[in-house]
A and B are shown apart, each in its own frame.
Chain A
């Protein structure tokens, strides 16, 4: 097992400098459909924030706004103090160049519902690809670290396998290792276990819990209430593009205050 790159900060005080993600009044429309109608959010370094909500409530869209896969129409998002996608100069916003956006994304890992591993590369190549291509480290060093990361997610014996030869749970663990290889400050998970057979969900959640224990800042869209209760530091319930309710996961799950939260929890519990 290797040391994780992120220092443990789970119990850090809520000072302003500790804020890893701040979103203010984020709006996003697809044509006439306003998917996000003013989302506010604050995630401190080392925290695990769980995002819940019915299908179509805009959870994925919001997650994709955080690493600028989607351009927001209004509002601001900062990650570790950096304004995402723009530079503010002289009271004016300037769009960042593609290269600068890419640089911002390197600090943010993302794990997708459908894994999105590169099918033409082996497991090891999947993990090594980005750090080497982006000049982070030499090939030999990257391989060594990738092998260690894969060992950490329990796939030390699958380095030469192709994604198609792995189960869904194994693929998702490779995807997590691939994201970690870029040594991100923040990890975004978009329903990482929703495409998995029930018996494979546990192995992925275990890796994520391990990561949370090591102090990684995480925003997790999930329907796994148990996970939210166990490792979540905060919970946000979204519906129809707005935050309906937020707070401590154990409290919200035990005593939801809003009708919509209640009916949603009743369905997933």
Chain B
């Protein structure tokens, strides 16, 4: 041990006192940004077109808050719930051995990804033009009746007026949810495919059926890959609820702000209010996403898995076996 001591004594070198590298470019950038910020603040404060007092007065009115809660928040939640569930179903269809299911799944994603959301919503808003009533029963009943010589045969179980159901909120929800399902299907499919095929084989070798191994083995592992992009989709969905203006859905944030603006000839302040509202809402989601990604992103992915394996090795060679991620 004497040699060790000797080396540590000798190793105590003089601390470094070097002149740090200067960054003159940074100071120039700060100066430019300061000037630009001052100009922007000046614009906000002095240009009457902003009409701040009017904006603040209007943007918290009850119809606007109701539109925010129902047309934006509730719509986002509902559309994402339906989108995720339907997306899983379509992803499983697309990965199925059955060529018919695969084809239907492909057709679905092709259609809903190829048509822009805005156009889709306009179509769903006007779909009542196709049918005045929507009814469930035996298909082609009148035609079949004619075949057997019965006039105007009707075999209907129940139905409702499409004007009652397929306008406003329901039409908008249908448009957003069906379109979301197509994107979620792609995300879920990628997640499922990212799971080691050895997992499926092990489950099959144990005698599990396809549904069982998907539910118990593959999907829980695919979640790590699926959850972070689903956060992105939720944020995109929240913003896309503003497209409901074209259905139209009247109990919705942007519709309400737009209406106030047009009614009062103060369009610009209300659009600024819209910017502020969406900034506020998406910021909340961004915070949530940060924590979600930190939770699900850790220890996973190929690098993460390598880290897990390393940890296992450390445990074997006398490291700390119980320790899981800092």
Residues of A within 8 A of B (CB): 67, 69, 98-99, 102-103, 105-106, 108-110, 112, 114, 116-120, 129-130, 133-134, 161, 163-168, 170-171, 175, 178-179, 182, 200
Contacts and interface: CB of A to CB of B under 8 A. Distances in A.
Contact of A116 (B198, B216, B321, B322): B198
A165 B202 contact: no
Interface of B: 196, 198-199, 201-210, 212, 216-217, 220-221, 308-309, 311-313, 315-316, 321-322, 324
Given A164-B308, A167-B315, A118 B217 contact: yes
Contact of B207 (A134, A166, A168): A134
Contacts, number: 84
B123 to A, nearest CB: 39
A24 to B, nearest CB: 23
Nearest to A110: B205
A105 B207 contact: yes
Contacts of A163: 312
B198 A120 contact: no
A105, A119, A166: which has the most chain B beta carbons within 10 Å? A119
Interface of B: prevailing SS: helix
A144 B315 CA distance: 27
A129 B217 CA distance: 10
B201 A116 contact: yes
A108 B205 contact: yes
Max chain A CB contacts within 10 Å: which of B198, B202, B220, B322?
Answer: B202
Contacts of B210: 98
B321 A161 contact: yes
Contacts of B316: 166-168, 170, 200
A112 B217 CA distance: 17
A182 B204 contact: no
A78 B257 CA distance: 73
A110 B206 CA distance: 8
A105 B205 CA distance: 6
Contacts of B311: 164-165
Contact of A119 (B206, B209, B221): B221
Given A118-B202, A179-B206, 17 more contacts: A67-B205, A69-B201, A103-B207, A105-B204, A112-B202, A116-B196, A116-B198, A116-B201, A120-B221, A130-B207, A161-B321, A166-B312, A167-B312, A168-B316, A170-B316, A182-B207, A200-B316
A168 B199 CA distance: 16
B205 A109 contact: yes
A96 B198 CA distance: 23
A116 B220 CA distance: 15
25 contacts: A67-B205, A69-B201, A99-B209, A102-B209, A103-B207, A105-B207, A106-B206, A106-B207, A116-B196, A116-B198, A116-B202, A118-B217, A129-B216, A130-B208, A133-B212, A134-B206, A134-B212, A161-B321, A164-B312, A165-B311, A166-B312, A166-B315, A167-B315, A167-B316, A179-B205
A106 B209 CA distance: 11
